[in-house]
Chain A
């Protein structure tokens, strides 16, 4: 299938083309290696750091941090979203407060967070947790609100109890929206992680990049930036796969 293969290659053409241009500019000496090392140099830096064991350690720490924050913040967002989506009372009680807090850029809380938690692990997890909480919360509430009312009525008419109605109608109906929230949350998760790891840290990709800056290792700085791009892309791909599997009933995802 020629066209299928072509379709798979197409999204990678642009990044690959950029790499080629970048490599030829540095090889031709038009760009100084100090300002912008060649892709090959970045790759070599990656290999070097992998051999010393630094890179796997930093990657692992960043991943652990990101996933822990996502798990805590995501669960909280999902829980409160479901609660407010299902109960008018809870919604009246909580929603306007949540909306107020949501409008504070969570990175603006860094000084306060440092005062509260110091510069330890808790501060970073707290920031990521707050960051991912809101997109998941908002999209969960929206997902529940936008369920076709006739389906709920059908469930009631068929005598489904609260639990079965939730499990068979409400949750699957809200799922497309919840997954959109997850994708937003992943974007915010990386952003927060980068900032949190550059404040005060002794491991993680962010630390590695900041440390490299102090030693003028431009290749390692670029390596860190490329890693963020790749990690972000990987997380997005995982969510897409999740969408395809969970929403396989939807013709839109079924292609």
Chain B
């Protein structure tokens, strides 16, 4: 359909790349974890990297966050080469990494810009994840899903342009996980940040992604645009077909 193509073309031109990864390799000792990766994330794009454990996807996120530096190649953020922690990116781990000695609000406020409005920004972020009534609680009394929501609120409060999610839903039970996926999608649609989500769950990838990349042994082996309308029905024929296709690429030798 020509309309779709035009629509797509407009989107492509509107979306200037926020992050550009150019021929990046990463080596730990003699082990090569990433091999000459080329990769771009556009503004307000939700990219999902799928791969089995140990394929190098977490390392890619740590490089994007600036917590590790590339052995070869370069990463550009807004056109500038990245050195040290990436100021526009926030990394969310599988563990929520909340400070146990700070209240829910304190944890979120710590990430907010250091202005007088910090508490208000933190409150707003907590409202968005649906935890406005738990602000004074200690993290230790929250459930795993609630802790991840606080971590998400913290990332939101920091008003970062790029959210890096390292299997943040991996430790959650199936139902909480679905809830969290919907929440991430809703907030992402509202705020204009980019997301790179790393997961081994293909269904999660197809549910959330604008674009799915399959990683194997430190290389991207497959790329797939997902143009289904949101929120996506997991039972539709197209959804299942895409899921099967990607799963095949992840599993195949």
* Residues in A lying within 8 Å of B, measured CB to CB: 148, 150-151, 153-154, 156-160, 164, 168-169, 172-173, 175, 247-251, 254
Contacts and interface: CB of A to CB of B under 8 A. Distances in A.
A249 B138 contact: yes
Specify the main secondary structure of chain A where it touches its partner.
helix
Interface string B99-114: 1111000000011000
Contacts of B67: 153, 156-157
Given A168-B110, A249-B140, A251-B141, A157 B65 contact: yes
B203 to A, nearest CB: 27
A172 B99 contact: yes
Nearest to B138: A249
A173 B99 CA distance: 9
B18 to A, nearest CB: 17
B95 interface: yes
Contacts, number: 53
Interface stretch (B37-45, B84-92, B204-212): B84-92
Given A150-B93, A168-B102, A156 B141 contact: no
A157 B102 CA distance: 18
A251 B139 CA distance: 10
B97 interface: yes
Interface in B3-55: none
Contacts of B101: 172-173, 175, 247, 249-250
Given A150-B93, A159-B87, A160-B110, A168 B65 contact: no
B158 interface: yes
Contact of A251 (B87, B93, B95, B140): B140
Contacts of A248: 138
B138 A150 contact: no
A152 to B, nearest CB: 10
A150 B67 CA distance: 11
A206 to B, nearest CB: 40
A142 to B, nearest CB: 18
